[in-house]
Chains A and B, each alone.
Chain A
Amino acid sequence: EPEVTQTPSHQVTQMGQEVILRCVPISNHLYFYWYRQILGQKVEFLVSFYNNEISEKSEIFDDQFSVERPDGSNFTLKIRSTKLEDSAMYFCASSPDRGPSYEQYFGPGTRLTVT
């Protein structure tokens, strides 16, 4: 069964450094998403991406964040200058379409630790 994959599974970085989190969505899906989940808290929407551009983004997704689909398979989230509060699990997800009837398929997540 097709699945979303994410690398790395765990990333440790120092405050102020740039990180790139990588995702390979399910191949025939059209919409891609990034979420984050701070330990013990709820899942939070960051950004959705369609047709090589951002479709929606939340207030969390400020200028420090960017997303890219550099080729036909990868979908990346870049954090330019990490802060301690960026420490969280980051989940990538994809869906066939964005309508409310479509479920999203999540990857296993990348645990980002900023020290």
Chain B
Amino acid sequence: SQKIEQNSEALNIQEGKTATLTCNYTNYSPAYLQWYRQDPGRGPVFLLLIRENEKEKRKERLKVTFDTTLKQSLFHITASQPADSATYLCALKDSNYQLIWGAGTKLIIKP
């Protein structure tokens, strides 16, 4: 079955720098991969979706890449701000349309 791996250790980044988070999956390449943000005690909030035929997707300060050869997606936040501090979750739909989630990476932006 499909598994998603995200860095379990928190990522500490200085304000203004670019944060890069990694999502690796183990089996077949999904047609779409999604990234969500989750704040403590809150539900996930959708950020970006990237299709397998897209190398890169951007939205304001966010950028997602998708490498089906490496079975990896990278999520970048440029010009990071303390308000970007949260847990970022990678998710993809398996063959049954269920969303499978990574455990998330906690991002801490230090002023």
Bitwise, A96-110 to B at CB < 8 A (1) or not (0) is 001111011111110
Contact with A along B17-38 (1 / 0, CB 8 A): 0000000000000111010000
B13 at the interface (CB under 8 A from A): no
15 contacts between A and B (CB under 8 A): A42-B103, A43-B44, A43-B99, A43-B101, A45-B99, A45-B100, A48-B98, A56-B96, A56-B97, A91-B43, A98-B97, A103-B34, A104-B99, A108-B43, A109-B41
User: Is A28 in the interface zone, CB < 8 Å from B?
Assistant: no
Q: Does A41 lie at the interface of the complex (its beta carbon under 8 Å from any beta carbon of B)?
A: yes
| Cβ of B71 to closest chain A Cβ, rounded Å | 16
Contact-size category for A:
20 to 34
Instruction: Tell me the residues in window 31-78 of chain B with beta carbons closer than 8 Å to chain A beta carbons.
Output: 31-32, 34, 41-46, 49, 51
Chain A residues with CB under 8 Å of B31's CB are: 100-101
Q: Does A89 count as interface, using CB distance less than 8 angstroms?
A: yes
B contact residues around A44 at 8 Å (CB): 101
Given contacts A41-B103, A42-B103, whether A93 and B43 have CB atoms under 8 Å apart is: yes
Q: Are A106 and B45 in contact (CB under 8 A)?
A: yes
Instruction: Scan A58-100; emit 1 where CB is below 8 A from any B CB, else 0.
Output: 1000000000000000000000000000000101010000111
Given A42-B102, A43-B89, A106 and B44 touching (CB < 8 A)?
A: yes
User: Would you call B41 and A103 a contact (CB within 8 A)?
Assistant: no
User: When chains A and B are docked, how far (Å) is the Cα of A43 from the Cα of B42?
Assistant: 12
Query: Which residue of chain B has the shortest Cβ distance to A3 in the bound complex?
Result: B43
Q: In the complex, how many angstroms separate the beta carbon of A18 from the nearest chain B beta carbon?
A: 24
Bound CA span A41–B92, Å? 17
B3 to chain A, nearest CB (A): 11
Bound form: Cα–Cα A33–B44 in Å: 13
Chain B residue at smallest Cβ distance from A92: B43
* Bound Cα distance A4, B89 (Å): 19
Closest-CB distance, B47 to chain A (whole angstroms): 9
